[in-house]
């Protein structure tokens, strides 16, 4: 029994580089990369502010940073779901 020469999912196997996969994901669901970028930005800013936190305890600073990062990601996911619902149900006329 020889393996079949044709790919099972040709649209997914044609994109092999990480950049092309990220571009495809950005076109399909634009709020996923926005959420990832926002998470990285919030964590980066939190780490920068770690030096200049003043009298704030380390645990309190880390909790605030975690809540801000999670809030940004949840907000991006919510916007993405609302966008896709709008695009699927309101944007398309019913046939």
Range of the domain at 41: 14-91
Residue-level pLDDT at 91: 76
Confidence of residue 4 (pLDDT cuts 50, 70, 90): low
Closest CA to 34 of 74, 68, 89: 74
CB 76 within 8 A of CB 34: yes
pTM given for the model: 0.60
- Answer yes or no: is 6 within a domain: no
Angstrom CA distances, 15 to 18, 25, 26, stand at: 8, 11, 14
Q: How far apart are the first and last CA of the chain?
A: 46
User: Cα 55 from chain centroid?
Assistant: 33
Tokens encoding 44 = 């980066």
What is the arithmetic mean of pLDDT over 9-28?
71
Does residue 61 belong to any structural domain of this protein? yes
Instruction: Count how many domains the chain has.
Output: 1
Q: Is residue 24 part of a domain?
A: yes
Residue 21 lies in a domain: yes
Per the domain annotation, does 9 fall within a domain?
no
């Amino acid at each position: 029994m020889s393996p079949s020469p044709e790919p099972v999912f040709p649209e997914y196997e044609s994109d092999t580089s990480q950049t092309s996969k990220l571009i495809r994901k950005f076109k399909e669901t634009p709020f996923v990369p926005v959420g990832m970028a926002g998470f990285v930005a919030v964590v980066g800013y939190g780490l920068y502010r770690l030096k200049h936190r003043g009298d704030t305890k380390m645990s309190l600073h880390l909790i605030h940073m975690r809540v801000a990062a999670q809030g940004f990601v949840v907000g991006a996911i919510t916007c993405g779901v609302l966008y896709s619902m709008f695009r699927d149900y309101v944007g398309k006329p019913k046939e």
